[in-house]
Amino acid sequence: MVFKLNNHLLSGIASSNGHGEDSPYFEGWKAYDSNPHHLTENPDGVIQMGLAENQLCFDLIQDWLKNNPKASICTPEGVNEFREVAIFQDYHGLPEFRNAVAKFMEKVRGNKVTFDPDRIVMNGGATGAHETIAFCLADPGEAFLVPTPYYPGFDRDLRWRTGVKLIPVDSESSNNFKVTREALENAYEMAKLDNIKVKGLLITNPSNPLGTMLDRETLRSIVSFINEKNIHVVCDEIYAATVFSQPDFISIAEILQEDIECNLDLVHIVYSLSKDMGFPGLRVGIIYSYNDAVVSCARKMSSFGLVSSQTQHMIASMLSDDEFVGKFIRESKRRLAARHRIFTYGLAQVSIKCLKTSNAGLFLWMNLSGLLKENTFESEMALWRVIIHEVKLNVSPGCSFHCTEPGWFRVCFANMDDQTMQVALSRIRTFVNKDVDTKKPKKTLRWQGSLKLTSPRIYDDFINSPRSPIPRSPLVRART
């Protein structure tokens, strides 16, 4: 017997595409998953350059694990701790875990700030942390401002299950996509005209996808802005330890120690070990809030996405090793800088430029506007499909990051070995030198027109727009 799926039997979430899986960002992953590159077994496969993973220092982690077998409860040396750790279920987290994470966050920020372990709330990765903070700060229909270009996963993390809206704050390449007070004010006022209540501002520092940092002046302007509007600021600082050259990283926590007026109850930090340590699979996400009520609520909500006690136990031991942590941070910065230098040099050989102010992250913001047949997002998508299906590189188009200018792409460089990187660069050189034809395909495209929208471009409207390059399933529709 065959049963047909009746969407009316499902919830609104189950029958919607609010997850954003149809975005070009995730579509590129599917292309890689169906034909993954391997140096010997599948040399003609798709190279994954759309995944921001830090795989450059796994040898240091492996050496530490070999030298510290007691850190794991699944080794003969650590098995005596198995019972106590395995039965632990307190959603506050192991005290030694919270202490070690707080200390690590301080070290990453140059020991210029201090963090209270009692304000550390654990979550299942930064994804869980962002959703939890959204639940704590906003009700369905209320909104967060988000400077563009921004990480596509935010459209899922902050809004899919919460019903919260995201309002892009436009930035431009003419000033290296800097966040300006004028743009913030414009987005805020436009939201008010549309009767949308703005509850907060989400910033990513260092930026994904730009690989840039917010300078002190900009951070102070942001703190003043949220204080004047009496709205929250959520600071995603998950790339804090990936800053590989001057200037040094400046945390929002450092700004709060300066002579600046701010209601601390409005400030919250999201952190994780996925990028700085290269542990996305361990799902270690952190909320650090200066608001007692948020800490209390977020801790209760963390019951739905705890970090396993086994992981907490190992991480506490590793991050408490000051000598190892210091060595890891230094060496990670050195290797990221070297990889960044080699990759940008390789691109420059074929006249491909990247955002010059980038000095952090695991990726480059690559300008391919010179390869566009027209200065449109249709042309960007056409070029992207050639890169995915013919050049076989999974890079992410700027439109999936809500960039307002066509031709920008994010390319990740730290998730592969040196040989694979050279293969990727070789493919890029061949592609550019052959001047691959990226004219509009003969088949009728499912997307039409330009993506140049006026503020506020709320995500719910964006994804349902007939001008959006994101294909909509005939079975489901995004809900507002």
Q: What are phi and psi of 359, to 5 degrees?
A: -145, 25
In angstroms, what is the C-alpha Rg of the chain? Answer: 22
Task: Report whether 402 contacts 412 (CB < 8 A).
Answer: no
| DSSP letter assigned to residue 259 | S
- Find, among 421, 414, 425, 270, the residue nearest to 332 by Cα: 414
CB atoms within 10 A of CB 432: 18
- Find, among 445, 442, 477, the residue nearest to 460 by Cα: 477
List, in sequence order, every residue forming a beta bridge with 299; answer none if it has no partner: none
- Find, among 384, 404, 378, 405, the residue nearest to 396 by Cα: 384
Cα-to-chain-centroid distance, residue 317: 27
CB atoms within 10 A of CB 229: 18
| DSSP letter assigned to residue 38 | B
**DSSP state string for 338-407:** HHHHHHHHHHHTTT-EE-TT--SSSEEEEE-GGG-SSSSHHHHHHHHHHIIIII-EE-EEGGGGT-SSTT
**H runs (alpha helix) in 10-113:** 24-34, 58-67, 82-86, 95-108
Reduce the DSSP state of residue 199 to 3 states and report it: strand
Reduce the DSSP state of residue 37 to 3 states and report it: coil
| DSSP letter assigned to residue 248 | P
Q: How far apart are CA 167 and CA 148, in angstroms?
A: 10
| DSSP letter assigned to residue 387 | I
What's the farthest any 2 CA atoms get from each other in the chain? 71
Catalytic residues: 151, 236, 238, 275
- The one-letter amino acid code at 189 reads E
Q: How far apart are CA 415 and CA 56, in angstroms?
A: 7
CA dihedral 259, 260, 265, 266 (to 10 degrees): -150
Tokens standing for residue 208: 């994904």
Cβ neighbors of 10 (< 8 A, separation 6 or more) are none
| DSSP letter assigned to residue 307 | P
Q: How far apart are CA 356 and CA 134, in angstroms?
A: 33
Q: How far apart are CA 348 and CA 20, in angstroms?
A: 33
